[in-house]
Structure 1
Amino acid sequence: MPSLRHVAERLSRGVTFRRRLPSGFGPGRIVVSPDAGLRLLRPDLAAAEPLLFDAVRRLVRPGMKIWDIGANLGLFGFAAAWMAGPSGEVLLVEADPWLCSVLQRSAHGLAGAGYAPVTLAACAMTDRAGPVRFEIAARGRASNSIRGYGHSQRGGVRETLVVGGCTADQILDDAFRPDLIKIDVEGAELAVLQGAAGVLKTRPALVLEVGEENADAVTDLLSQAGYRLHDAEEGMRPVERCRWATVALPA
């Protein structure tokens, strides 16, 4: 017999509703879905992703330009859009077409309300251009990943899509130079950084999830690029090796 959680996850597929952004991030209401994770059924978004919102408060200032790679529902990107204000800019990068449609609805609803302009790049960011197989997680779309990556908590794959793959350096050719980049790509963080050599030379701050399987390689790459590492789960304590929630700042 399926568990209650499994039943709730199945019933949540495709369901959307609006939630107000947490206190301090303006009056906007964005479109969310428990299809990305049952925690989004909570009325308070701050409780769903406390580390992301804390990173926005710590790092984003008026006028900043932000990339949100692996945007999902845009919690980080839309909160950053408020802190950056009308003189800032936000780019959301998302591969899942369904989530892209949700992001567009949210961005339209925030336009002209004191938020930075928000644009969307519908692609899977990795280390090369071209088509990639992108897997929609069975349990929740927050665990979607490029084939060959992903973590066990996704509970299998409900659907595989062929989507466009792009690199950060490609995006830089067509978009604004970022002051801050958030990367949450379910195991593909090393590939994203390997495709971002030019971007890293512009010295953006980074907020990224790093899986244990990538921690040593990502640490080496960022150290060679001249970054200092901090643990976002421990109040930005300096660390020598990447943690699950890493903030990397230019030295």
Structure 2
Amino acid sequence: MRYQLRWIKEILDHPTNRTNRISALLRYIRWNVGRRILDQVEYTISFAPGAKIILSNRENYATLAYTCGLYDFDEMKFLIDYLRPGDIFGDFGANVGIYSVLAGSRGATVLSVEPVPSTYTQLEENLRLNCIKGRAIRCGLSDARGRLNFTLALGGMNRVATSRDVEVVEVDVLRVDDLVEETGLSPQVIKIDVEGFELPLLKGGSSLLPNVAAIIIELNGSGKQYGYSDDEVHTFLNTIGFSCFDYFPATRELRLRNDYQRQRFNSLYINLKTLGETRLRLAS
């Protein structure tokens, strides 16, 4: 019960719900009643203007997508405010494609990467549903070409498998730079959500990263299972010219941080070389 109350409070306090908490509470109740009656079923959810997604009601983020819409509010608003038609967005570890669909709704071309076969199929369906321009690629990303095993039973948290994992699938793996060369798509903004495998992915993008304006990256401590720390990822990004910023959607302001986000999963890194241009884009 305590967990449920904390979950409800998070939903009611979310920026998209603060002005209409009663409606948000009713959506939460309706969603959970539906889950109990229908067990596992897929819904088409409209989570932003011009953006809808097919989600199973058992996905770990489906409740937030239904009750809050832009559930990663600051990061998703950054995308909405930054992207322009014709821009290219890289979604590395795209899962079923929520960030890809959001970027596509702004007129951006997407380069979406997802290694798990069943999830990749859902990603393709969501891109087709929204008529998104771009490419979906089924592969993993690392610092060398090859093949790696990925888990199959962790839903939205599937990842590169370790020796303890049993239900796995072997997948082709590329470097980010190989991916860009082979598709001809060079993203200006990338989202990275690879459940701890961030550092090898970044090291495979040495040619792309200097030309990237912003990186949204999930750092949640899961790199430890592969021998990497979030501190190492932060230091690596600092070394190649990125710094971590907070984004304030109400004023469209970027504010420099001394550290990455330790209270929330996602951190926003801005290329200092293009910081002025990025601020002008957001302001306009």
Quick one: structure 1 residues 110 and 59, their matched pair in 2 at CA, closer, same or farther if it must change by over 3 Å?
same
Match of 2:160 in 1: 146
Letter in 1 for 2:76: F
CA contact (8 A) 2:78 2:247 kept: yes
Letter in 1 for 2:57: P
Match of 1:105 in 2: 125
Alignment pair present for 1:250 and 2:271: yes
Alignment pair present for 1:18 and 2:44: yes
3-state SS in 2 of match to 1:145:
coil
Match of 1:43 in 2: 66
Larger radius of gyration: 2
CA contact (8 A) 1:91 1:120 kept: yes
Alignment pair present for 1:93 and 2:113: yes
Quick one: structure 1 residues 19 and 236, their matched pair in 2 at CA, closer, same or farther if it must change by over 3 Å?
same
CA contact (8 A) 2:47 2:70 kept: no
Quick one: structure 1 residues 59 and 148, their matched pair in 2 at CA, closer, same or farther if it must change by over 3 Å?
farther
CA distance in structure 1 between the aligned counterparts of 2:189 and 2:61, rounded to whole angstroms: 28
CA distance in structure 1 between the aligned counterparts of 2:42 and 2:197, rounded to whole angstroms: 27
Alignment pair present for 1:163 and 2:189: no
Alignment pair present for 1:128 and 2:144: yes
Quick one: structure 1 residues 38 and 200, their matched pair in 2 at CA, closer, same or farther if it must change by over 3 Å?
closer
| CA displacement 1:214-246 (0-9 Å, x = unmatched) | 222112211111112114699854223322321
Letter in 2 for 1:108: R
| CA displacement 1:110-152 (0-9 Å, x = unmatched) | 22xxxx50320101112221110101244xx111110249xxx
Quick one: structure 1 residues 55 and 73, their matched pair in 2 at CA, closer, same or farther if it must change by over 3 Å?
farther
Alignment pair present for 1:227 and 2:242: yes
CA distance in structure 1 between the aligned counterparts of 2:172 and 2:45, rounded to whole angstroms: 30
Letter in 2 for 1:227: F
CA distance in structure 2 between the aligned counterparts of 1:165 and 1:97, rounded to whole angstroms: 14
Letter in 2 for 1:249: I
Quick one: structure 1 residues 44 and 146, their matched pair in 2 at CA, closer, same or farther if it must change by over 3 Å?
same
CA distance in structure 2 between the aligned counterparts of 1:242 and 1:188, rounded to whole angstroms: 17
Letter in 1 for 2:150: F
CA distance in structure 2 between the aligned counterparts of 1:47 and 1:199, rounded to whole angstroms: 28
CA contact (8 A) 2:92 2:192 kept: yes
Structure 1 moving runs of 4+ over 4 Å = 232-236
CA distance in structure 1 between the aligned counterparts of 2:72 and 2:59, rounded to whole angstroms: 12
Quick one: structure 1 residues 47 and 82, their matched pair in 2 at CA, closer, same or farther if it must change by over 3 Å?
closer
TM-score normalised by the chain length of structure 1: 0.78
TM-score normalised by the chain length of structure 2: 0.70
Q: Structure 2: give runs of 5+ residues left out of the alignment.
A: 1-31, 273-284
3-state SS in 2 of match to 1:43:
helix
Offset at 1:101? 0.8
Quick one: structure 1 residues 198 and 30, their matched pair in 2 at CA, closer, same or farther if it must change by over 3 Å?
same
CA contact (8 A) 1:52 1:76 kept: no
CA distance in structure 2 between the aligned counterparts of 1:199 and 1:117, rounded to whole angstroms: 21
3-state SS in 1 of match to 2:113:
strand
3-state SS in 2 of match to 1:146:
coil
CA distance in structure 2 between the aligned counterparts of 1:81 and 1:178, rounded to whole angstroms: 13
Q: Structure 1: give runs of 5+ residues left out of the alignment.
A: 150-155
